[in-house]
Amino acid sequence: MLTTITEGILCCLTGKAASLVLPLESSEPSDGFEFVEVKPGRVLRVRHIIPERPMVTEEQVASKQKTDRNDDDVEGSPEEDNESNIGSSVHCKRKITVYRNGQLVIENLGDILHSEILQCQDGDLEPCSTVEVELADYKEMPSSPDPNSALPQVHSPLGEHKPAPPPRRRRRKPKRTVQIDSKRVISSCKGTHSDVALFFVHGVGGSLDIWGSQLDFFSRLGYDVIAPDLAGHGASTAPHIAAAYTFYALAEDLRAIFKRYSRKRNILIGHSYGVSFCTFLAHEYPDLVHKVVMINGGGPTALEPSLCSIFQLPSCVLHCLTPCLAWSFLKAGFARQGAKEKQLLKQGNAFNVSPFVLRAMMSGQYWPEGDEVYHAELTVPILLVHGMCDKFVPMDEDQRMAEILLFAFLKVIEEGSHMVMMECPDTVNTLLHEFFLWEPDMSRKDSSKTDTALTDSLHTLKINKPVDK
Rounded to a whole number of angstroms, the CA Rg of the chain reads 26
Q: Which among 295, 268, 296, 274 has a CA at the least distance from the CA of 205?
A: 274
Q: State the Cα–Cα distance between residues 371 and 82, nearest whole angstrom.
A: 37
Instruction: Write down the catalytic residue from 236, 272, 354, 417.
Output: 272
Q: How far is CA 28 from CA 25, 31, 32, 197, in A?
A: 10, 6, 8, 23
Q: 336-339: which pairs have CB atoms within 8 A and are 24 or more residues apart?
A: 336/423
Q: Is 233 labeled as catalytic in the residue annotation?
A: no
Instruction: Write down the catalytic residue from 209, 224, 253, 390.
Output: 390
Q: State the Cα–Cα distance between residues 145 and 139, nearest whole angstrom.
A: 17
Using CB atoms within 10 A of its CB, is residue 272 exposed (0-12), middle (13-18) or buried (19+)? buried
Q: State the Cα–Cα distance between residues 435 and 452, nearest whole angstrom.
A: 9
Instruction: Write down the catalytic residue from 202, 418, 433, 457.
Output: 418
Using CB atoms within 10 A of its CB, is residue 147 exposed (0-12), middle (13-18) or buried (19+)? exposed
Q: How far is CA 43 from CA 194, 368, 379, in A?
A: 27, 27, 32
**Ordered alpha helix ranges (H), 262-314:** 274-284
Name residues whose C-beta falls within 8 Å of residue 440's C-beta, 6 or more positions apart in sequence. Answer: 88, 90, 116, 117, 186, 452
Using CB atoms within 10 A of its CB, is residue 117 exposed (0-12), middle (13-18) or buried (19+)? buried
Task: Please work out, in degrees rounded to the nearest 5, the angle formed at the alpha carbon of residue 360 by the alpha carbons of 354 and 364.
Answer: 150
Q: Bridge-partner residues for 246, per DSSP?
A: none
Strands 161-163 and 153-155: antiparallel
Q: What are phi and psi of 287, to 5 degrees?
A: -80, -20
Q: Is 418 labeled as catalytic in the residue annotation?
A: yes
Q: Is 272 labeled as catalytic in the residue annotation?
A: yes
Active site residues: 272, 390, 418
